[in-house]
Structure 1
Amino acid sequence: MNDSEPSAAAVEAALAPGHRAPVGRYRLDLVTGRWAWSDEIFEMHGFRPGEVVPTTELVLAHKHPEDRERVDHVLRNAAATGQPFSSLHRIVDAQGRTRTLAVTGQSRRDPDSGSITELYGYFIDVTKADREQAQREATASIRASAESRASIEQAKGVVMVTYGASEEEALQRLRTASNERNVALRDLAAGLVEWFAEPGTTRFPGADEMTEFLAGPGDQAADR
């Protein structure tokens, strides 16, 4: 699943206690290709109940272009195998709004021939949950980025004082150590700040101690 596709976490959020996601029932006649939708599914697709005649062509036409082929494959596979299925994908409704739907289904067979004649199940609109999940992920990313920048700024300040270096020189020392140790700059900075702020620390590290720290792991704080 690529980054643009809806997250499965949205389904968990939508189905969590206290969250009332819109749910609708459907039935697909595999012989005629006609669908039967409950009112909720018409509304999910931006129509008034009964406004259009649901067909597989209509259903696929409203799928998000990036998800359409995948959904078509899911439906074809279910019709061929009769296996229960689920799909999480986006649609573009009749008003041009993008929604995220979870679809579950199972099959019915003709009792005489044994052939698969029908698929039925539920559409669940998880748009709100998907949006909330995206917002949570974005917030976490912003917070992590801010914390990373804060650590780098603090580490840069310690290096400046230790070496009597300029801001640019201190940042370059950190970058050089990051490259030589193959450690992300944010992790190196966080480690330096943690080392400097250890309980019992009463002075800035000396240049030799800092050089030793930047060169690699060690018990630099033992004598401080």
Structure 2
Amino acid sequence: MTSPTTPSEPPLDETLEEVLAGGARPPVGRYRLDLATGEWAWSDEVYVMHGFDPGQIVPTTPLMLSHKHPDDRARVDGLLRRAAETGQPFSSVHRIRNAHGMTRTLAVTGQGRRDPATGRVTELFGYFIDVTESHREAAARDATASIQASAERRAVIEQAKGVLMVVYSTEEEPAFDLLRQASNLANVPVRDIAQTLVHLFSGPDVTAFPTREAIDKFLDNPVESPDA
């Protein structure tokens, strides 16, 4: 089936989308939690999200919980405990206070791995995604209106790409292609598709990462409200 033609956009948008097709690295990091020791293995991105240099500290469960926002800490602790018991896939959207005292919003998704000999859940593994809007205040202070708008569009598209990379276990370019296809299908700019997708997992009332089925439904019919 031939997709509708995407509306023409200003040269700035066209340039932005071409850059994102190759893409800067989205704010996505991997983790693994050893349930026997309580120690976490973080990729470099997760250290940075928490305000540390890669390898600067040894991440543990008490350290992780100490960085959770006080209003979200009990919920995240309960989520991890249930995941450790069941091994079932889990997700959460919550706030942290990093080592510099800055509040950031992270989406975390993962599942358990069982010991084949005992059947017990021995570790949790998955991804963190930083869904904090990147440098919005700095852009507002230091950039012209057009550069500020470009930075905001880039941030939301990067976040949307990161989500699709995790959900579909794909790379940056295929993830961007999914956004472009949805854009063609809905006949709206890629940035609007990305903004709606980001709202699915970072809106003010969201406490769980959307399921793959929910994202499939959105990409197949992006003109329909996510809440419909």
> Structure 1 length normalisation: TM-score?
0.49
Which entry has the higher C-alpha Rg, 1 or 2? 1
> Structure 2 length normalisation: TM-score?
0.48
